[in-house]
Amino acid sequence: MATTISFLIGIIGNVISILMFASPIGTFKRVVKTKSTEDYKGIPYITTLLSTSLWTFYGLMKPGGLLVVTVNAVGSGLQLIYVVLFLIYAPKRKRMQSLKLVAVLNIGFFGVVVAVTLGAFHGDKRLLISGIICAGLTIGMYVSPLSAMRIVIKTQSVEYMPFFLSFFQFLNGGVWAAYSLLVKDIFIGVPNGIGFVLGSIQLILYARYKNKSSTKNLKEEMEEEGSVHLFEGRVEMQDGEGKSEPDERTRNLGKVQSLPNPSRQHNFQGLVKINSLSPNQLRTS
């Protein structure tokens, strides 16, 4: 019975994890469309790629680790796509920093862990070493959005903390923590328990600053339309009512906006001069 329940929870965990891994798709659609990574960070995707790769390796060694293998293999594929897109559209300086991280973590560190685990250890020790490393990296994956949380608190805007990523992190951590209790796997339980807590904090921040972000964006949009529209509306009201006198600022703006084109002013003066000539003067001209 417990095996059946754990298997069902594992299936649910697979679905939620894949949805969580797929949640940045909208973000990278925006990156491709604007051809810019803006203020997005590449570290979460690089560390998640390393984490999912090592969890795939852990699942392959663990008896009954099929569910761990399937979800993390899919996650590795998606994270690889995100990292490649980030490297393509990131500014040169950020691209070089990210390339160094990819070389050190996703190639160097991953290769060393696999080589040492298979070469220097045997039996259960392989599972122990890889499990400790995977747990540590998963904690790092869950902790990496802390930089985004700091930006949210500082700017009071949730623009750079995607809701679905936080939501699925919350669900993913909770489900896999429950799964670990059933299969008695501490390496899965501890990091996902931490992820559940951090995901909850992110949702709280999102709920707190979402309305403030909307108000701020609306204010910025109104300011971007410019004071000219406000001035025109005010002048129209004054002309229609004929009751309010323009203040000093309005009069100055009116003078600035009503400055004649030099060529038109010259033509107007010439026209006045011609109209002031007598018939004899016109014939002479």
**pTM of this structure:** 0.64
At 217, phi and psi to the nearest 5? Answer: -65, -40
pLDDT tens sequence across 144-175: 777 778 888 888 777 767 777 788 788 888 99
pLDDT of res. 230: 44
Tokens 């018939």, residue located: 279
Q: Residue 40 has what pLDDT?
A: 82
Closest Cα to residue 194, out of 215, 159, 170? 170
The residue assigned the tokens 């000219």 is 228
Distance, in Å, from the CA atom of 214 to the CA atom of 74, rounded to the nearest integer, reads: 35
CA 35 to CA 32: how far, in whole Å?
A: 5
**Per-domain residue ranges of the chain:** 2-209, 225-259
pLDDT for 274 equals 45
Given a contact cutoff of 8 angstroms between Cβ atoms, the answer to whether 142 and 44 are in contact is no
pLDDT on residue 76:
94
**pLDDT for position 266:** 45
* Weakly modelled stretches of the chain, pLDDT under 70: 1-2, 160, 212-285
- Residue 158 in contact with residue 213, Cβ under 8 Å? yes
Residues in the chain: 285
When the pLDDT of each residue in the chain is averaged and rounded to a whole number, the result is 77
> What pLDDT, on a 0 to 100 scale, did the predictor assign at position 285?
41
Question: Is 191 exposed, middle or buried (CB count within 10 Å of its CB: 0-12, 13-18, 19+)?
Answer: buried
Looking at residue 2, its pLDDT comes to 67
Cα separation, 213 vs 132, whole angstroms: 40
- Please check whether residue 157 is in contact with residue 212, taking contact to mean a CB–CB distance below 8 angstroms: yes
